[in-house]
Amino acid sequence: MALQKSDALVLKAYNWSESSRTIVFFTRDFGRLALIDKGGRSLKSRRGRMLAFSTLEVTFYQSRRETSGYVSDILVEQSFEFAREGTLGRLGYGSAACELLLLLLPEEEPQPELFDYTVHFLSWLDRADKRYLPSLFVAFYLRLLSSLGYHTSLTHCSVCGEPIADEAESRGEVAFSPEQGGVVSAACQKAGDYYIRLTYQSLKLLVTLQTASLNEAATLPISFVEAGLLVEALRRFMSYQADVRADIKSLEFLEKLKNSQGGNGN
Ligand SMILES: [Zn+2]
């Protein structure tokens, strides 16, 4: 058995006895990787603490004869505490990001750029003013989808390929089709098909966030209500394009948070 080492984030842990668990990691060098952590939950183990929202260095054995490898050691490199104002929102968006990665990442395909981007996202989530958390999350969601091959067409009609901006501006809204994979011009819409109506403002935001760096996203305030609409459009897009049917529990939690705050996120 060969000993391997990689930077990693924890996506989920499944406890299957009082002392052992299986941990699904997003590793920098091996992509999504499920490893058995024997004895890791016991009080004597220094790996016992749940290690969400931390970058870790995980050492593990990979066995050719068995399906999963085994955790040998875990060192915490950097922990994001989400202690600044707006902790619940930070935790909600951080959990949603991990859920999305768990749903979408293919097994054992290295994604070093996406890994670095995710760590960068968590560090912004930890330190940005809470007004910018929704736009940071939408930017992360768009980047995650496109780096895994699910690119949303937002500037050109996803049926005929014509530019959409003028039409969207004069009508004040645009139709978004999760099934077609993006916006659809009036001429290409079919009666009976399902469309999400986005305002021209929302479309402009999405287009901006699609190419924005996280540093730029962290200067764009958007309301929880608008973010909710954009995230819902992306969630439906993901359901069609990636064939992921699961609901994202952390996003339901954010929905409740939004309602409890009267929708303004403050
Ligand atoms: Zn068209």
Report every protein residue that has its C-beta within 5 angstroms of ion ligand 1. 157, 159-160, 185, 188
Bridge partners of 79, per DSSP, are: 54
The predicted structure's pLDDT at residue 49:
65
CATH superfamily of 87-153+169-260: Recombination protein O, C-terminal domain (1.20.1440.120)
How close is the Cα of 164 to the center of ligand 1, in Å? 8
Q: Report the amino acid identity of residue 86.
A: G
How close is the Cα of 203 to the center of ligand 1, in Å? 16
Intervals of CATH 1.20.1440.120 along the chain = 87-153+169-260
Q: pLDDT grade, residue 266 (50/70/90)? A: very low
Intervals of CATH 2.40.50.140 along the chain = 2-79
How close is the Cα of 234 to the center of ligand 1, in Å? 20
The predicted structure's pLDDT at residue 245:
73
Listed ranges 18-27, 48-57, 115-124; the one with the highest mean pLDDT: 115-124
Rounded average pLDDT over 197-204: 93
In DSSP notation, 22-79 reads EEEEEETTTEEEEEEETTTTSTT-TT-S--TTEEEEEEEEE-SSSSSEEEEEEEEEEE
CATH superfamily of 2-79: Nucleic acid-binding proteins (2.40.50.140)
